[in-house]
Structure 1
Amino acid sequence: MIIGIPKEIKNNENRVALTPAGVAEFKKNGHSIYVQASAGENSGFSDKAYADAGAEILPTIADVYSIAEMIIKVKEPIASEYPLIKKDQLLFTYFHFASSESLTHAMIERQAVCLAYETVEKTDRSLPLLVPMSEVAGRMSIQEGAKYLEKPLKGKGILLGGVPGVAPAKVLVLGGGIVGTQAAKMAAGFGAQVTIMDVSLARLRYLSDVMPANVTTVMSNHYNICEAIAQTDLVIGAVLIPGAKAPHLITRDMLKLMSPGTVVVDVAVDQGGCIETCTPTTHENPTFIIDDIVHYCVANMPGAVPYTSTLALTNATLPYALQLANKGWKKACVENEELKKGLNVANGKIVYKGVADAWGLPFNDVETVLQNELQLN
């Protein structure tokens, strides 16, 4: 198969979808790899490193899209990329369709095959291609939250861990999944007083067992959230419903319960956000203030630490990408249930229910679509 690796052009997105080591694996399996010039530069990988691994370097993004049968990316295509996408072209990347109606319609119109990292799912309901970036984003949420609590950045002027004789900051983490767990661990390591909420009692029992003594577990419900945010200095939104919009656990009206200078970091913003007032921002302009509450809503947080993020992402995506290249997307999805759940759009049809429901569009059964595609061959 012909694989294309374009340079990411989303604002301040410094990651790249494949390392030179990944290129070498594809070459070993007999595939051709085309990498856009300087695609890996911001992640610490030179064009020479890719060429030495067996890739051919192409000068423009249009060249890469034009030649490739499968495009491997990090973030969803942006508007300037839409015209470059060809019918039947396989795109393997983070899409988060449920948070972008325009992207959804664009991919339907281009009749692309869109396999989304974030909905590839194992039998135990875990999301193997979301985990590494969730780990990065969860840890970063505390790093960024601690920074924006500083007074020059409009925060309360509180040191996260306090000092002897002075109480540490209070951190509320909404969601006990990968992001929330990593955020709570980091905040606890800083010395903060941490509360983590989840709707699963079993998950809270587990977190209570593994977390340090300065982390308290509380059942997530509207009453408890209202009680907690009145005393909290930093709120981390870490709620995910695979392939669908996150629920709004904190509404606009609830901001008045918080004290001025409170910081909210909504890690779920790329899936619609779990805090109503959060809208996606960029690393260039990461924050805004509503009702004296500092909102940090960068949709691609791991892009700020691209070396770590690129290595972590490639470690997770490469085995799946190789299956797609070795077998073709149809056979790979039939034989691998995890990849099948990653299919969101196939040749003009939505095959993931959460996406169809988000925008009121027709849903097509993935099994039927796959069987029809195989019969056409």
Structure 2
Amino acid sequence: MLVGVPKEIKNHEYRVGLTPAAVKEFAAHGHNIVVETQAGAAIGFSDDDYIAAGATIASTAQQVFAEAEMIVKVKEPQPNECKMLRKGQTLYTYLHLAPDPVQTELLIASGATCIAYETVTDDRNGLPLLAPMSEVAGRMSVQAGAHYLEKANGGSGTLLGGVPGVAPGKVLVIGGGVVGTNAAKMALGLGADVTILDRSLPRLRQLDDIFNGQVKTVFSTVDAIEQYSAEADLVVGAVLIPGATAPKLLNAAHIKAMKPGAVVVDVAIDQGGCFETSKATTHQDPVYVVDDVVHYCVANMPGGVARTSTIALNNATLPFGLALANKGAKQALLDDKHLLNGLNVHEGKVTYKAVVDALGESLGLTYTPAEEALK
């Protein structure tokens, strides 16, 4: 199979779909790889590195899209990229379709087979291709929050770890999954007073064991969100419903009741955000203020540490990518129920129910089960 890797074009996005090491794996399986020039240069992967690994270099994205049978990316395709996709071609990347009607319509129109990293599953009901970026984003959320709590950056001037004689800052993490756990680790490491809210008692028990009682675990209710957000210096939104629009857990009244100079970091912004006042921002212009509360809602947070993120992502995506190339998309999807869960759009049909639930009424979409669409 001819596998194509275009350069990412989203604002301040420096990750790349395949590392040179991953290219070498594809080449070892007999596949040809075409990489757009400078696709990985910003994070230390030169064109010469890709050539040494077995790739050929294309001068333009148009050439990559025109030649490749499978496109491997990181972020969702932008409108001009969607328009270069075609029937019979496979797109393998993050999609986040539920809050993005424009991309959804363009992918339907393309006729391509579109597989979303974020909805591929595993035997433990996890999301193995989302997990590494969730780990990165969870850790970055506290770094970002601590930075914007500094007075010069718009915050209240609170040091999360405090100092002897001064109480530490209070961090509220809403959601105890991969993002929330990693956010709590970082916040605890800085010496903050950390509380995690979650609606799963078994998960709260696990977190209590993981942190050996050093983190407060609280069952998430409307009252708990109201109480703990009002006391917090930093709130991290870490709630995910796979493939669906994120629930709005902090409303405008909650934001208004927070301390002046508090910071909220919405890690769920890729899926529409879990705060009512959230709107997507970029690394170029990452924050804005609502009711004296600093909002950090960067939609590609892991892109800020692009080298670490790219390597971590490739470690997870490579086995599935090789299966798609070795068997062809249709057979690979039918052979693996977990990869099949990643199929969101196939030849004009929407095959992921949460996308139809979010956009079906506005776009007139109907749901086609993935296996039925393929057969």
TM-score range, shorter chain: over 0.9
Aligned-residue offset at 1:212: 4.6
Residue equivalent to 1:338: 338
Report the counterpart of residue 205 of structure 2 in structure 1.
Answer: 205
1:363 is matched by which residue type in structure 2? Y
| Counterpart Cα distance in 2 of 1:368 and 1:210 | 42
Contact kept, 8 Å, 1:172 with 1:196, in 2: the verdict is: yes
> 2:239 matched to which residue of 1?
239
8 Å Cα contact 2:76-2:93 kept in structure 1? yes
Q: Deviations over 1:312-366 (max 9, x none)?
A: 0000000000000000111001110111000000010000000011101200011
Give 1:309's aligned amino acid. Answer: S
Name 2:121's counterpart in structure 1. Answer: 121
Between the aligned partners of 1:210 and 1:315, the Cα distance in structure 2 is: 25
Q: Give the corresponding residue for 2:264.
A: 264
Give the aligned partner of residue 305 of structure 2.
Answer: 305
In structure 2, what is the equivalent of residue 181 of structure 1? 181
| Contact 1:192-1:214 within 8 A present in 2 as well | no
| Aligned residue among 369, 372, 375 for 2:373 | 369
1:248-327 equivalences under 5 Å are 248-327=248-327
Residues 103-252 of structure 1 correspond to what in structure 2 (within 5 A)? 103-252=103-252
Query: Is the CA contact 1:188–1:212 (under 8 Å) kept in the aligned structure 2?
Result: no
The one-letter code of the counterpart of 1:72 is V
Displacement of 1:214: 3.5
- Cα shift at 1:369: 1.2
The 3 A distance-change label for structure 1 pair 213 and 166 is farther
C-alpha RMSD of the superposition: 0.8
Q: Deviations over 1:218-270 (max 9, x none)?
A: 00111100010111000000000000011000011221210111100000000
Quote the Cα distance in structure 2 between the aligned partners of 1:86 and 1:364: 20
Q: Which residue of 2 aligns with 1:375?
A: none
The separation in 1 between residues aligned to 2:42 and 2:134, in whole angstroms, is 21
The structural deviation recorded for 1:123 is 2.6
Is there any run of 5+ residues in structure 2 with no aligned partner, and where? none
Residue 49 (structure 1) shift: 0.3
Q: Which amino acid aligns with 2:16?
A: V
Cα separation, 2, equivalents of 1:169 and 1:216: 14
- C-alpha distance in 2 between matches for 1:12 and 1:212: 38
**Under a length normalisation based on structure 1, what TM-score does the superposition of the two structures give?**
0.97
Q: How many residues align?
A: 371
Distance 2:329 2:80 in 1: 25
Whether 1:24 and 2:28 are equivalent positions in the alignment is no
TM-score (norm 2): 0.98
2:257 corresponds to which letter in structure 1? L
Task: Check whether the contact 1:191–1:214 (CA below 8 A) recurs between aligned residues.
Answer: no
Structure 1 segments unaligned to the other structure (5+ residues):
372-377
Shift of 1:162: 0.5
State the one-letter code of the partner of 1:62. Q
> Which consecutive aligned stretches of 4+ in structure 1 deviate over 3 angstroms post-superposition?
none
